[in-house]
């Protein structure tokens, strides 16, 4: 496209030169009384008009070429998005080119006035001016379309950013809910663990009958076996986990259970003389069903 414009520009320059020479010769033949100074002055005015038009045409051509380049950049950006800095640069360039187009439109209007005032009758010049005005209108429309496309892109980006923010907010709320639920579950699990441990906790104490009586644990009767006093506290007792306690060593040859535990839920394995015995719990649920306290007298 630029190559064809340069060809047209060169052809136009040649046409301007021919118009200048032809007009000068014509005027020279029409009025032999014109002085050399007047002739040179007229030629200078025509040359000035032509030079101005050539310079302006070249500037306008450059502007149109620049707009085409920006259009290509935006067309390529449809396949791959522009970065933020690239987008800002393109918008800035588009605005600048729009201002230049407005200036060129004013410049062409001034050139038309100068062309009319110069007396040069060149259809090629007027045709070129008309073509440039038409192309400026087209490019102005294209610039407005580019600005619209960029505005639409910004709106799409803003919409996407809003959606992303909404998703992030939803995820944050979900994470907060999950964290609150996790904290609640941990607290519930901890409370359940404590409750379970408490439900599976028993208390044990051993000692001779004398020692147990001194601690207020035995109620010695005149008739019948000794029994455990009511209103026991945990003081002096050793805690046991009934889930893990299956065998309890007892430092006595013939220990005696003071607390009641169902028969069949345990075995008392007595040791020989000067040997320790052991209490084997065979059914923990039955053994601890009546009482979670275990008192053993070491006779």
For residue 100, CA distances in Å to 50, 81, 107, 114, 125 come to: 21, 27, 10, 21, 22
C-alpha span between 18 and 120 (Å, rounded)? 12
Q: What is the pTM of this model?
A: 0.43
Estimate the crossing angle of helix 123-199 against helix 2-30, to 10 degrees: 150
**Which range (30-34, 36-40, 197-201) has the least confidence?**
30-34
Tens of pLDDT, residues 150-184? 778 778 878 888 889 999 999 999 999 999 999 99
User: Would the pLDDT of 9 be above 80?
Assistant: no
**Which range (123-137, 189-203, 241-255) has the least confidence?**
123-137
User: Would the pLDDT of 8 be above 70?
Assistant: no
Tens of pLDDT, residues 82-121? 666 776 777 777 777 777 777 777 877 777 777 777 666 5
Better-predicted residue by pLDDT, 7 or 80: 80
Three-class SS of residue 80? coil
For residue 182, CA distances in Å to 168, 172, 190, 192 come to: 20, 15, 12, 15
Q: Which residues contact 67 (CB under 8 A, 6 or more apart)?
A: 97, 101, 139, 142, 143
> Which phi and psi (to 5°) does residue 83 adopt?
-75, 170
**Per-residue pLDDT band at 224 (split at 50, 70, 90):** very low
Closest to 5 measured CA to CA, from 120, 98, 135, 112: 135
The pLDDT of 129-136, averaged and rounded, is: 77
On average, the pLDDT of the chain sits at 76
Closest to 296 measured CA to CA, from 239, 231, 211: 211
């Amino acid at each position: 496209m630029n190559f064809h414009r340069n060809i047209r520009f060169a052809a136009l320059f040649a046409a301007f030169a021919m118009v200048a020479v032809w007009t000068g010769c014509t005027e020279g033949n029409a009025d032999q009384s014109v002085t050399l100074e007047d002739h040179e002055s007229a030629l200078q005015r025509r040359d000035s008009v032509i030079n101005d038009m050539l310079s302006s045409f070249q500037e306008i051509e450059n502007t149109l070429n620049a707009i085409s380049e920006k259009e290509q950049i935006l067309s390529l950006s449809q396949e791959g998005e522009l970065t933020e800095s690239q987008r800002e640069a393109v918008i800035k360039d588009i605005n600048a080119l729009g201002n230049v187009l407005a200036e060129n439109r004013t410049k062409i209007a001034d050139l038309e006035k100068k062309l009319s005032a110069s007396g040069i009758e060149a259809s090629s010049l007027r045709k070129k001016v008309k073509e440039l005005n038409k192309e400026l209108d087209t490019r102005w429309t294209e610039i407005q379309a580019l600005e619209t496309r960029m505005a639409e892109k910004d709106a799409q980006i803003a919409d996407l950013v809003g959606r992303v923010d909404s998703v992030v907010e939803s995820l944050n709320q979900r994470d907060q809910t999950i964290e609150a639920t996790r904290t609640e579950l941990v607290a519930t699990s901890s409370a359940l663990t404590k409750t379970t441990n408490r439900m599976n906790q028993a208390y044990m104490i051993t000692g001779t009958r004398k020692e147990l009586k001194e601690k207020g644990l035995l109620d010695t009767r005149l008739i019948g076996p000794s029994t455990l006093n009511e209103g026991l506290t945990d003081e002096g007792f050793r805690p046991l986990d009934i889930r893990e306690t299956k065998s309890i060593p007892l430092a006595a040859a013939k220990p005696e259970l003071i607390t009641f535990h169902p028969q069949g839920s345990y075995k008392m394995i007595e040791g020989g003389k000067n040997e320790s015995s052991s209490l084997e719990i065979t059914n923990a649920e039955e053994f601890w069903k009546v009482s979670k306290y275990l008192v053993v007298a070491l006779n």
